[in-house]
Amino acid sequence: MATDRPISRRLFLRGGALVSSAILAGIPRVPWLHGDASGDAEAALMGIGQELRDVLNEETVNRILVEALRRGGDFADLFAEQRFRTNIVLAEGRIESVTYGYPRGAGVRVSRRNQTGYAFSDEIVYNSLLDAARVASAVVENQSPVTPIDVTKRNLVAPFPLTLPAPLMDETRKFELLRRMDAAARAFDPRIVSVRLEYADEVRDVLIGTSDGGYLVDRQYLVGISCTPTAVSGGDRRSGLSTVGGRVDETYFTAVDPERAAREAARQAITLLGAGPAPAGPMPVIIGPGWGGVLVHESLGHASEGDRIRRGTSILAGQLGARVAAPSVRIVDDGRWPHGRGSYAMDDEGAPGQRTVLVENGVLASYLLDKQNAGLLGLRSTGNGRRESYRKWPIPRMTNTYIDRGGSDPLSLLTGIKKGFFAAQMGGGSVDSTSGNFNFAVREGYWIEDGRITKPVRSAVLIGNSLETLKRIEGIGNDLSVEHSRGTCGKDGQWVPVGVGQPTIRFSQITVGGTSI
């Protein structure tokens, strides 16, 4: 990228925008060229995937991997990718922009112990990739050559079936969805002065060859629409947010009722007009289901990622078997959750996506691992090696991370709270995984007074520490929901789609960053 980004070491989760404008600017697709029938569209895409396989067949992949390990190393892999992206912005009632993007390229990684060499080419051309292999191998200094195992095709098991992936929808259907949502949000209340809708989808073809003999090909579909209406009244100005999407079929958009989602965003903005100050300081807090899982993503998820565990710079390093949450808590990272933004048949180094129980009965049961860090820790990959694109190397990342369901009726969790805070809708968050200090924003919050939800308050952050906050869980609802239409996680300059989830949860104490003390 030509943009001068500051070097950040923080770990982020965004839910506001479905995609980062700089990174996922637009997504083109082929069907435009080849008629509208989805069958044709799929065939056209397969054709292009075939071109990738023609250039990078088993034979050429073998030769590239031989070159990669010529100076030695523990393993090497080749990662080729092409994406078709469509991005549509509807703002102020107009289709403001329509974008197609067609990024493609391939990279070679060479790895020895904790060392990684990575080089890529924007051209999927045999000679360019041989060069990339040589550049990547420079990280290994003068070892003797290692012979990779010849690759053979490995089959993948899809995490869930998709018969009519939503990105293959008719173009006109995408515009229609946006127009309907725009109209629904505007009609909700005259104080809605503007509505911004962003549609993004992609079809991602991936081809991986590994020096342990794997040759894997996969296709991944993702779609999302975000709706952000703005309400103005007097001097007060508020925005709301709702999202729909995931790794879903076309039929999803009939089932979820996009208009309802748009009205929900408008309701949020209107509710918050004239909201009073939020409380400041520690108090009992209840966090609503679904996207509220941003808490577990920040508090425990990042700290369990294998790179910082291996370096000993995470607060959870060496804590397997230790109590990290209240005894009733189970935390899961599930790379196969139906329609999850973080779901896949294989991760970006060819390991199958899997369900990993991170915390069982409040005790830390597993880390999230890629191949390299698993090897260094003497463990096995949990299928969490992900990368933003062929321009980056894989690092351990979350998929869909959630706190599992409990037994309580959500409403009963209010009982006995004299003065507290109810976070109905969350925003994004971030964590410093060395200290475990994390924060996440509340988009829609309310006072709790004498066991009842009362007045809405202005936005505020909630803060906590990884080793303390989850131990303060004192009630878990039976209403588990895993959000699969928003969530983009940033780490080390790499952004990947993720899901988060939880049921309604009550904490004995969390610090609220309001202004009323």
Partner 1 sequence: MATLTPQEIMDRVRTQAERSGAAEAETYLEIVRSREVRVRQREVELIHQSAIQGLGLRVYRDHRMGFMYTTDLRAPVLDEIVNRTIALAGAATPRDENKLPDEIPPQTQELEIYDDAVAAMQPADQIALARAAEENAFARDKRIQTTQDARCGMRVSEVHFTNTFLGYQTYRTTACWLAVGAIATDGAKKREGSFSDQKRILLDLETSERLGRKAADRALAKLGAAPVPSSRAPVIFDSEAAGQFLNAIFGAFNGQNVLEQRSFLAGSLGKAVASPLLTISDEGLMRRGLGTRPFDGEGVQSRNTLVLDRGVLNAFLTTSVSGRRMGRGSTGNAIRSYDSLPAIGPTNFHVERGSTRLDKMISEVPKGLLVTGLAGAGVDVVSGEFSQQVEGRWIEGGKLAQPVEGITLGGRLSEMLLGIDAVGNDLEYRSNVTSPSLRFKELTIGGT
Under rule CB under 8 A, which residues in 59-88 are in contact with partner 1?
Answer: none
Q: How far is the CB of 517 from partner 1 (least distance, A)?
A: 4
Which residue has 């294998």 as its token pair?
Answer: 306
Distance CA 178, CA 174 (A): 7
Is residue 91 within the footprint of partner 1 (CB under 8 A)?
Answer: yes
Q: How far is the CB of 2 from partner 1 (least distance, A)?
A: 5
Q: How far is the CB of 435 from partner 1 (least distance, A)?
A: 6
Contact pattern for partner 1 over residues 280 through 319, marking x by CB under 8 A:
xxx-------------------------x--xxx-x----
Residue nearer to partner 1 on the CB measure, 340 or 497: 497
CB 429 within 8 A of CB 298: yes
Sign of the alpha-carbon torsion through 472, 316, 493, 211: negative
> What single letter denotes the amino acid at residue 302?
H
Is residue 517 within the footprint of partner 1 (CB under 8 A)?
Answer: yes
Is residue 105 within the footprint of partner 1 (CB under 8 A)?
Answer: yes
From 130-138, 148-156, 259-267, 407-415, span contacting partner 1 (CB under 8 A): 130-138
Is residue 446 within the footprint of partner 1 (CB under 8 A)?
Answer: no
What is the dihedral angle through the alpha carbons of 152, 157, 163, 165, rounded to the nearest 10 degrees? -80
Distance CA 298, CA 295 (A): 5
Residue nearer to partner 1 on the CB measure, 336 or 491: 491
Tokens of 99: 């974008």
Pairing of strands 400-403, 499-502: parallel
Distance CA 209, CA 211 (A): 7
Q: How far is the CB of 120 from partner 1 (least distance, A)?
A: 7
Give the residue, chosen from 183, 232, 363, 379, that forms a contact with partner 1 under the rule CB under 8 A. 232
Give the residue, chosen from 71, 297, 387, 391, that forms a contact with partner 1 under the rule CB under 8 A. 391
From 35-43, 58-66, 326-334, 455-463, span contacting partner 1 (CB under 8 A): 455-463
Is residue 230 within the footprint of partner 1 (CB under 8 A)?
Answer: yes
CB 367 within 8 A of CB 306: yes
Distance CA 21, CA 447 (A): 35
Is residue 233 within the footprint of partner 1 (CB under 8 A)?
Answer: no
Give the residue, chosen from 38, 40, 101, 376, that forms a contact with partner 1 under the rule CB under 8 A. 101
From 69-77, 103-111, 202-210, 398-406, span contacting partner 1 (CB under 8 A): 103-111
Distance CA 71, CA 485 (A): 44
3-state secondary structure of 166: helix
**Short-list 389, 351, 339, CA closest to 205:** 389
Is residue 126 within the footprint of partner 1 (CB under 8 A)?
Answer: no
Backbone dihedral region for residue 33 (phi beyond 0: left; psi -120 to 50: alpha; all else: beta): alpha
**From start to end of 378-467, where are the E strands?**
385-386, 395-396, 400-403, 419-432, 437-449, 452-457, 460-465
Distance CA 117, CA 140 (A): 8
Is residue 375 within the footprint of partner 1 (CB under 8 A)?
Answer: no
From 211-219, 259-267, 333-341, 423-431, span contacting partner 1 (CB under 8 A): 423-431
CB 217 within 8 A of CB 128: no
Residues 4 to 23 in contact with partner 1, rule: CB under 8 A: 4, 6-7, 9-10, 12, 14, 21-22
Residues 22 to 51 in contact with partner 1, rule: CB under 8 A: 22, 25-26, 28, 32-33
Give the residue, chosen from 63, 72, 95, 164, that forms a contact with partner 1 under the rule CB under 8 A. 95
